Amino acid sequence: MTTYKNFSVETDADGIALVTWDMPDRSMNVFTEEVMDELDKITDQVTADDKVKGVVVTSGKDSFSGGADLTMLQRMLKLFNEENARDHDAAIKMLFEGAGRMSWLFRKIETCGKPWVSAINGTCMGGAFELSLACHGRVAADGDKVKMGLPEVKVGLFPGAGGTQRVPRLADPQSALQMLTTGSSLSPKKAKGMNLIHEIVEPARLVDAAKDMIKGGLKPVQPWDEKGFRLPGGPVYSAAGANLWPPAIAILRRETQNNYPAAAAILKCVYEGLLVPVDTALRIEQRYFTEILQTTEAAMMIRSLFISLQELNKGARRPDGVEPTKFKKIGVLGAGFMGAGIAYVTAKAGIPVVLLDRDMPSAEKGRDHSAGLMDGLIKKGRASAEDKEKLLSLITPTDDYGQLDGCDLVVEAVFEDSEIKKGVTEKSEAVLKPSATFASNTSTIPITGLAKNSKRPKNFIGIHFFSPVDRMMLVEIILGKKTGDKALAVAIDYVRAIKKTPIVVNDTRGFYVNRCVLRYMSEAYQMLIEGVPAPMIENAAKMAGMPVGPLALTDETAIDLAQKIMKQTIRDLGEKAVDQEQFALINTMVDKHGRHGRKNGKGFYDYPAKPAKKHLWPGLKELYPQKAPEDVDVEVLKQRFLVTIALEAARVMGEGIVTDPREADVGSILAFGFAPYTGGALSYIDGMGTAEFVKLAKALQKKYGAQFKAPKLLLDMAAKGESFYERFDPYAGKVKEAA
């Protein structure tokens, strides 16, 4: 047996070398420079050893591997930028060679003359699946936790270690393109159906089955290296190719609006690569990968959607020195849509939950919500009847506050009314142990004010969920003026326990996310008033990268809620706090036309009975004189949406409401889908350059109004040439003061 730091190699009596990947300092195997160096040496070792007849590669962990360590790519890009400042050609050469390192290592394995089999025992993603595809045989264990895929496109990259060439040489081209451009993961059954793996076996038999493939005479030659190899979907230049490629390009444009360079590069790699032999194809892939690595989109998406997201999920903002909480029981006050959703995600995490409402029928109706969600999962084959029973057994519906005794945390999700919230806080605290944390799920009322109802404000915190709770991955944790470290630690522990991403926000009206969302909607109202046709507003927002148009989003949250928020803002801050023309538009919609949004079947859209689809209300054209479409610049509409949200995110940072740019970026993407290709609201500014962004904001302010006025912080940063990640360095000892 030969032992490396990250691998062990053991050759059995049949001459089969078992290579077990088990990194000592990681919970999951990932490709690093060291791992590639070792795998290279192992390849040489087994190739040179006449006793070795074949190789099985597997993992010593419960997952196979998560793929490449993206911090390695970040280091490579940092070196590239430093070298690029000195010698552009040398920098490109260095990046090209670095980009191809993994690809040519896998090609070496594939052409070494001895059969390799990948024994996939768990999650096998990205570079690890590309390694498996370079093996001559692939066996996967049967089980729900076994997933394979090439998800790189989700972080602004693409499978650059042979994935764009091997997948379409194994699977039919349509399925291959769909898998590569969406980054979707595959179950063993789906992977076998696509011809990407050869066998599915019981987990206990995995390594034996892999060895059996070699004993059975597995050829150490890939299909595409055999003479006379034919592509599964036929040649690119064929009738089948003519039916595939034009629609594929059109679908990509429809789905990405040309905002994702990596997705377009996948199509180019596959199209061009399938016209040439595989070695030339891998070189083409390497060139595109080198190009994509240099894009702003890749840098920003890797940072926000991989590194920052992981750091926040691991509790980057959790205070030091506070013992982790193991939750024995959690209380949820209010069994309406939000409360029922919170109870469901809590029980799904295996935590007993008391769901309290004013009477038993209301509380039981809240538990029925969980039953309905589980029925949906059962129907899709993602849960069993036993899973449903187990989850429901963890939810105790009640109308008795006494049942809250023993709860570590209570989450209040009652009606948005300060008096009602005051009553439930007092009744709960009468029962709760002194150390328990009390959290409010309010979306509009400042936490510091609500904490005045508590006898222990240091244990009082905001935990703001988004609707629908079961699907939305972000949770805002709001600190009141007196909230203590223990309450913050408990809140972060809870959000992590239910497998959501926490961001920490200081107290303000609308917190962080809603302030940004309201700007997005407000800009759409402004466009309607200017006479921009409603379809152009919705389409421009989607073209800018937003998942839902602002008018559709207003309908989902309710137009009458927008009216209530405006009225409350006027009561609290005076008439100047709300744009009077926009207020008039919302009042017209609600009071004159009775259009409240999706909930009453009519808002900015009409909602006919299924199967008919929703469509924009024709009456919108009558509200304001309409501009001719050719007189509206779609590029400017796109800029207005992104810039107004980014400015609000900058204001929030300047006010010290959010103090960590990672949270502003990740929060903007997870909560309302801020154009993911930008890396988030602050990365949009950083990616453009602060001075360039301020120049754009000033041009928009001149033409469209004060909502585009850059705050003092941004002007100061532009003058100094600073980015948000320099000014508010999340890794520094402490965050520098905002101007």
Around Cβ 534, how many Cβ atoms within 10 Å?
Answer: 21
Strand 16-21, strand 137-141: pairing: unpaired
Q: Please give the angle made by the CA atoms of 549, 550 and 556, to the nearest 5 degrees.
A: 95
Q: How far apart are CA 396 and CA 329, in angstroms?
A: 11
Q: How far apart are CA 523 and CA 684, in angstroms?
A: 18
The answer to whether the Cα torsion of 477, 480, 481, 483 is positive or negative is negative
Tokens representing residue 539 in the block: 């389409």
Q: How far apart are CA 465 and CA 440, in angstroms?
A: 10
Tokens representing residue 422 in the block: 């005051």
DSSP codes of every residue in 582-627: HHHHHHIIIIIT---BGGGTBSSEE-PSTTSPPEE-TTHHHHSPPP
Q: How far apart are CA 669 and CA 300, in angstroms?
A: 12
Among residues 464, 593, 596, 615, the one annotated as catalytic is: 464
Q: How far apart are CA 191 and CA 198, in angstroms?
A: 9
The residues that bridge with 504 in the sheet, in sequence order, are: 477
Strand 437-440, strand 460-465: pairing: parallel
Q: How far apart are CA 654 and CA 456, in angstroms?
A: 30
What are the phi and psi torsion angles at 597 (to 5°)?
120, -165
What are the phi and psi torsion angles at 31 (to 5°)?
-80, 120
In which element (H, E) is residue 719 found?
Answer: helix 712-720
Helix/strand/coil for 508: coil
Largest CA distance in the chain: 86
- In order of 86, 651, 661, 689, 739, the CA distances from 720 in angstroms are 23, 18, 18, 11, 12
Write down the H helix ranges in 136-172.
Answer: 163-170
Tokens representing residue 417 in the block: 């009314």
Nearest to 103 by CA among 292, 306, 299, 290: 290
Around Cβ 647, how many Cβ atoms within 10 Å?
Answer: 25
Catalytic residue list contains 198 = no
Beta-carbon contacts of 597 under 8 Å, excluding residues fewer than 6 positions away, are: 554, 555, 556, 557, 558, 559, 560, 561, 603, 604
Task: Kindly list the catalytic residues.
Answer: 464
